[in-house]
């Protein structure tokens, strides 16, 4: 089927191109500078010394060429003229204007005068006036009038600040280019680090645009975030993704999973059961995320679970040491609560890796072990397994 004439796909690609291109620029530029999107142009860089580079981005169809009267260029010129005048006609300022386009520029065209430095500003001005005179467009006419309103010296200075970057990498090529900038990252982890960095960047840019581009994006923040993400992929660490996340719905009163039932047997409050459900959810989702990214070494989860079970068994023997066959329900509950509280509050040293310190990992893993099928690998109430066996016999 042919594409709908009302499709906004090309426009959508342009927006995503702005996100990815700005991330690439942030990785290329030195710390100390700031980025603004949609303030004076698509992407504006303000360096530590105050110099400004305003870039207009154009993601065009494959094979497209930039003609002498291309609106992409001349509309950008109008934006740049406004900024040029706003900054005092460029006098004493260091401001540059760049058109970044995926299109190509013909070698013998007027646009080719902006492909490199060293072009004579007077030649640019004379050629620009000639090209502008060829159009009857109202938009082009207004641009010509605004340019003519400047003194000749200012016109030459303005045009001398413009450059074109042609045939820039397309949106689907940018991830590979960005990954090449991540040389400090282990090659095996670069794609995962890029995906996490880009996800963070989308949120940063979105918040920036919501604030109407008034609050700067500090390039040093990008460097710091990249360092933090990369650090999570070191051999003694793992990324943490579900801090603060909760299931879509929690019904502690009617949840019939085994680990929840274990907590009801102890007589825990509904709020404590709710927290256990959240820990279970976070640990389960986190483990799935690590598995999808192939971050866990062979049998790492199994060995970690075995370690937790062994430590649980040691403390269970202590908590239940004084119990006898004749011990009452309240005494059993008290021992079970002591065992559960230990697992919740005193197991921070039982880490899957040395620097994975987020509590939901160990707490949630204990909940998963308490939910194991066909029989829990850990239990809190000393007689829970007996209750479970009796319940199964009744069911059968």
Whether the pLDDT of residue 16 is over 70: the answer is yes
Between 86-95, 164-173, 182-191, the lowest mean confidence (pLDDT) is in: 86-95
Nearest partner of 98 among 170, 168, 6, 177, judged by Cα:
168
pLDDT tens digits, one per residue of 38-90: 999 999 999 999 999 999 999 999 999 999 999 999 999 999 999 898 877 66
CB of 141 closer than 8 Å to CB of 179: no
148-176 as b/e, with b when 16 or more CB fall inside 10 Å? eebeeebbbbbbbbbbbebebbebeebbe
* CA 257 – CA 280 distance, rounded (Å): 11
CA-nearest of 234, 244, 230, 237 to 195 is 230
Query: Which residues partner with 98 through β-bridges?
Result: 55, 163
Read off the pLDDT of each residue in 238-266 and give the average, rounded to a whole number.
95
At residue 197, the pLDDT reads 97
Q: What is the pTM of this model?
A: 0.81
Work out the number of other CB atoms within 10 angstroms of the CB of residue 125: 18
Cα gap 173→190, rounded to integer Å: 15
Side-chain-side CA neighbours of 282 within 13 Å: the count stands at 22
* Cα–Cα distance measured from residue 34 to residue 46, given in angstroms and rounded to the nearest whole number: 5
- Give the ranges where the chain is alpha helix by DSSP (H): 9-28, 71-86, 121-133, 138-148, 152-160, 174-180, 190-210, 219-231, 258-265, 270-292, 300-319, 329-345, 359-370, 384-395
Separation of alpha carbons 201 and 42, rounded Å: 16
Q: What is the pLDDT of residues 130-140, one digit of tens each?
A: 999 998 889 89
Q: Give the pLDDT band of residue 341 (cuts 50, 70, 90).
A: very high
- Better-predicted residue by pLDDT, 290 or 11: 290
Residue 1 pLDDT > 60: no
Q: What percent of the chain has pLDDT over 90?
A: 84
- Asked if residues 252 and 273 have their Cβ atoms less than 8 Å apart, the reply is yes
Write out pLDDT tens, residues 102-115: 999 999 999 999 99
Residue (of 371, 380, 366, 386) closest to 309 by Cα position: 366
> How many other β-carbons are positioned within 10 Å of the β-carbon of residue 191?
15
């Amino acid at each position: 089927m042919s594409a709908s004439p009302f499709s906004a796909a090309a426009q959508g690609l342009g927006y995503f191109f702005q996100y990815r291109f700005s991330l690439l620029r942030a990785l290329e530029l030195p710390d100390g500078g700031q980025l603004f999107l949609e303030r004076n142009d698509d992407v504006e860089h303000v360096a530590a010394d105050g110099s400004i580079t305003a870039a207009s981005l154009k993601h065009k169809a494959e094979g497209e060429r930039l003609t002498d009267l291309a609106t992409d260029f001349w509309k950008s010129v109008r934006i740049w003229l406004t900024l040029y005048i706003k900054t005092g006609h460029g006098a004493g300022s260091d401001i540059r204007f760049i058109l970044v386009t995926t299109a190509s520029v013909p070698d013998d065209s007027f646009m080719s005068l902006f492909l490199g430095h060293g072009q004579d500003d007077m030649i640019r001005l004379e050629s620009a006036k000639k090209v502008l005179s060829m159009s009857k467009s109202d938009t082009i006419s207004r641009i010509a009038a605004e340019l003519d309103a400047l003194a000749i010296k200012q016109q030459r200075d303005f045009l001398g600040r413009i450059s074109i970057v042609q045939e820039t990498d397309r949106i689907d090529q940018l991830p590979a280019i960005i990954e090449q900038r991540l040389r400090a990252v282990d090659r095996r982890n670069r794609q995962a680090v890029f995906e996490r960095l880009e996800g963070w960047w989308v949120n940063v840019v979105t918040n920036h645009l919501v604030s109407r581009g008034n609050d700067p994006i500090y390039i040093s923040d990008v460097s710091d975030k990249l360092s933090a993400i990369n650090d999570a992929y070191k051999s003694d660490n793992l990324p943490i993704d579900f801090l603060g996340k909760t299931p879509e719905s929690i019904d502690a009163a009617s949840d019939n999973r085994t680990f929840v039932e274990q907590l009801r047997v102890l007589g825990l409050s509904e709020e404590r059961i709710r927290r256990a459900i959240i820990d279970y959810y976070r640990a389960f989702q986190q483990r799935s995320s690590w598995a999808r990214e192939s971050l866990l070494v062979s049998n790492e989860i199994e060995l970690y679970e075995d370690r937790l079970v062994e430590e649980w068994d040691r403390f269970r023997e202590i908590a239940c040491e004084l119990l006898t066959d004749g011990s009452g329900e309240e005494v059993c509950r008290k021992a079970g609560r002591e065992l559960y509280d230990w697992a919740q509050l005193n197991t921070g040293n039982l880490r899957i890796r040395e620097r994975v310190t987020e509590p939901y990992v160990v707490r949630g893993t204990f909940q998963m072990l308490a939910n194991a099928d066909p029989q829990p690998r850990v239990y809190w109430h000393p007689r829970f397994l007996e209750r479970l066996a009796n319940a199964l016999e009744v069911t059968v």
